[in-house]
Amino acid sequence: MPEPDGSPEPQVSERYTQVQSDVLKLKAQLPEEAVSDIVREVLHRVAAERPTNRDPVNQPSRRKVESLCYALISDDPDEGAAFIHDARDDGAALDAIYLNYLAEAAVILGEWWDADHVSFHEVTIASSRIYAILREYSYLFVPRHPVEVKSAIFATVPGEIHTLGVRMAADLFGEEGWNVVVKTGRSHEALMAEITADPCRILGLSAGGAHSAPALARLVMALRVSRPDLRIFLSGQITQVASDLVEMMELDGATSDIDEARLVLQQLWSGLDKQAGPR
């Protein structure tokens, strides 16, 4: 996970509220099986960040993390976020918030879910709040690798069978000076592994109709946890036929128009170039 950049602390904000609301609305529009996959995905990705060597100063007790879990399933939508902000005020480092508080909470919530200690509804809410907290803090992280070349990954959403469009787009952007790597036909796990291992920070996803929404949502949420520095752009028919679902995913850009795609990708690159600073 990228290192914190030392910027001022965020507070419980409209952004946190909006992300949490959008994720819950999105899940309400998807089949229960797809929601279950997304919930497990968020918990799994967050839990996977747990360190093997613990820092005792920033390592909360099991009892304290369980208190965080109860805050995350509370009727008060801000209680979990307030718990995390209090921990920061008490001196917990940002990486400890990610790795020791939220990661441990994800593990415990998974255990509770398997043991029927919490309901599917409660764990859905909790995972949405964990995700919203991560998104709230994501701007504090900078990438491990500087942006060296004008590059992007173009990929089809897992399960998408139409690949001609993404390959044509890659050829077009390649002619315009982009270094584009195309990834099609990957499973969710394979695509996640390849993207998280790649220093490239712009991802162009292609998806067909509304049938791709569950796989797209699962992929986007997993990447937001594992690669908070990644800029994600979406193209394809789904941007027109399921625009309401797409909007809830808080992508960095979405269009089916190639000229608009050129503009958006250039803006994303320019933003990364400025963030990287002089080279």
Is-contact 192 158, C-beta < 8 A? no
Has residue 51 got a pLDDT over 80? Answer: no
How much is the average pLDDT of 240-269?
Answer: 91
Burial code (b: 16+ CB inside 10 Å, e: under 16) for 19-28 equals: bbebbbebbe
Q: In this predicted model, what pLDDT tens digit does every residue of 157-179 receive, in sequence order? A: 999 988 888 888 899 898 888 99
Alpha carbon separation from 49 to 76, 107, 201 (Å, rounded) = 27, 11, 20
Q: Give me the pLDDT at residue 248, please.
A: 92
Confidence of residue 54 (pLDDT cuts 50, 70, 90): low
Q: Give me the pLDDT at residue 135, please.
A: 86
Confidence of residue 74 (pLDDT cuts 50, 70, 90): very high
Q: pTM for this structure?
A: 0.83
Q: Give me the pLDDT at residue 138, please.
A: 76
Is-contact 263 230, C-beta < 8 A? no
143 φ, ψ (degrees, to nearest 5):
-70, 155
Q: In this predicted model, what pLDDT tens digit does every residue of 221-237 receive, in sequence order? A: 999 988 888 999 999 99
Has residue 6 got a pLDDT over 60? Answer: no
Query: In a 10 Å sphere around its CB, with 0-12 CB exposed, 13-18 middle and 19+ buried, how is residue 239 labelled?
Result: buried
